Amino acid sequence: MSQAGPSNLQVPATEKPQDITSKGEAGLPQPAVQQQRPNKRLVHPSIIIAIWIAFSSGVIVYNKYLLVNLNYPFPVFLTTFHMSFAAVGTRLLARYTTLLNGLSSVEMTMDRWYRNILPIGALFSASLILSNMAYLHLSVPFIQMLKAFTPVAVLIISFSFGLKQLSTTLTAIVTMISFGVAMASYGELDFNMTGFIFQVLAIAFESTRLVMVQVLLQGLKMDPLVSLYYFAPVCAAFNMVILPFAEGLKPFRMLAQLGPFVLVSNAGVAFGLNVASVFLIGAASSLTLTLAGVLKDILLILGSMWILGSTVTGLQFVGYGIALAGLVLFKTHKIGRAVQQEC
């Protein structure tokens, strides 16, 4: 939430475009299985995609602005507040709206909660905190470029545990994405090793979470809001345990200078991303969502250059372009394999 990835994420059978909740952004837990697509669309898909792009980009820029420009360098507190806000928000939506009707299709037992929800929530918490910590040291464009490596990390973990078979096509795609990210990293003018390590660790935790979602939540029908309903309290609890040791009382003492409007509106944008993601899943095809994710990343990089004054070199543009092309090839390859399996 803090990418709602704050820190994106998305996602077993239905992946977020380039992992929609990457995660540092408002950390969107992806659905565990296929989603039900509505038969009637009251809003044109292009409008829904535009709203999702606005929320997804907005929460990342807002997090960076709050943590750095407003001089409130407390990513653990920010993530804790986001998750607490989401925990309360999803319960209010469940009580007063139909957006969480999917809860009725999830058979959640205490054993399943301990074995599945708790470990995934712990990984989700770590990925969000580390992703937000990276914003203190790295530019938004560079972080987005590094996030392009997430699918590669997911594949590496899946290969390691025998969940996927290595193929020539996947090897070529992995090499292409890795080369593009490496080129973008080499071209970064304000490279910071501390921030780089934080982001690499965030990707590692997020990738492990995505693999565990595929393994542990297989068969559960959970859209982003239903997932958030279960994971947000777990993340908030883990963060509250970490907060006193990581940041102490400083975030609370500096709340007055930040103001309640900024804090609540920031969490509101992150929560709005999750709501928009529910409608996004049913708005268009998987490939369209992937292309929407690519468009979002491009607009986010250009927007951060304009709003935050970030610097992006020509070498980074070329490297990131190669990585994005690899991501599109990866998604189309997955779609093609899925179609073959259904036939």
Residue by residue, DSSP assigns 88-141 as HHHHHHHHHSSTTGGGGG----HHHIIIIIHHHHHHHHHHHHHHHHHTTTS-HH
Q: How far apart are CA 50 and CA 58, in angstroms?
A: 12
Residue 316 burial (10 A CB sphere; 0-12, 13-18, 19+):
buried
Q: How far apart are CA 214 and CA 202, in angstroms?
A: 19
pLDDT-derived band at 92 (thresholds 50, 70, 90) equals very high
Residue 237 burial (10 A CB sphere; 0-12, 13-18, 19+):
middle
Stretch 59-85: mean pLDDT:
95
Q: HSE, CB side, 13 Å, CA atoms: give it for residue 274.
A: 38
Instruction: Name 189's Cβ contacts closer than 8 Å, sequence gap at least 6.
Output: 311, 313
Is residue 218 over pLDDT 60? yes
Amino acid at 93: L
Which 3 state secondary structure label does DSSP give 184?
helix
* Lowest-confidence pick of 14-28, 58-72, 168-182, 225-239: 14-28
Q: Rounded mean pLDDT of the chain?
A: 83
Is residue 113 over pLDDT 50? yes
Nearest to 231 by CA among 331, 82, 99, 333: 82
Quick: pLDDT tens for 244-277: 999 999 999 999 888 899 999 999 999 999 888 8
Is residue 311 over pLDDT 50? yes
- Please report where in the chains the tokens 């709005």 appear, as a residue: 272
Quick: pLDDT tens for 117-175: 999 999 999 999 999 999 999 999 999 999 999 989 998 998 888 887 778 888 898 99
Amino acid at 5: G
Instruction: Name 228's Cβ contacts closer than 8 Å, sequence gap at least 6.
Output: 28, 29, 86, 90, 274
Amino acid at 165: Q
Q: How far is CA 11 from CA 23, 135, 176, 181, in A?
A: 11, 24, 22, 22
What pLDDT is attached to residue 168? 86
> Which two structure tokens, joined as six digits, stand for 99?
């957006």
pLDDT-derived band at 12 (thresholds 50, 70, 90) equals very low
Is residue 291 over pLDDT 70? yes
Quick: pLDDT tens for 174-203: 999 999 999 999 999 889 999 999 999 999
280 vs 178, which has greater pLDDT? 178
Give the predicted TM-score (pTM) of the model: 0.82
Q: How many residues does the chain have?
A: 343
Q: How far apart are CA 6 and CA 76, in angstroms?
A: 11
pLDDT-derived band at 341 (thresholds 50, 70, 90) equals low
Is residue 35 over pLDDT 50? no
Instruction: Name 124's Cβ contacts closer than 8 Å, sequence gap at least 6.
Output: 27, 29, 206, 209, 231, 234, 235
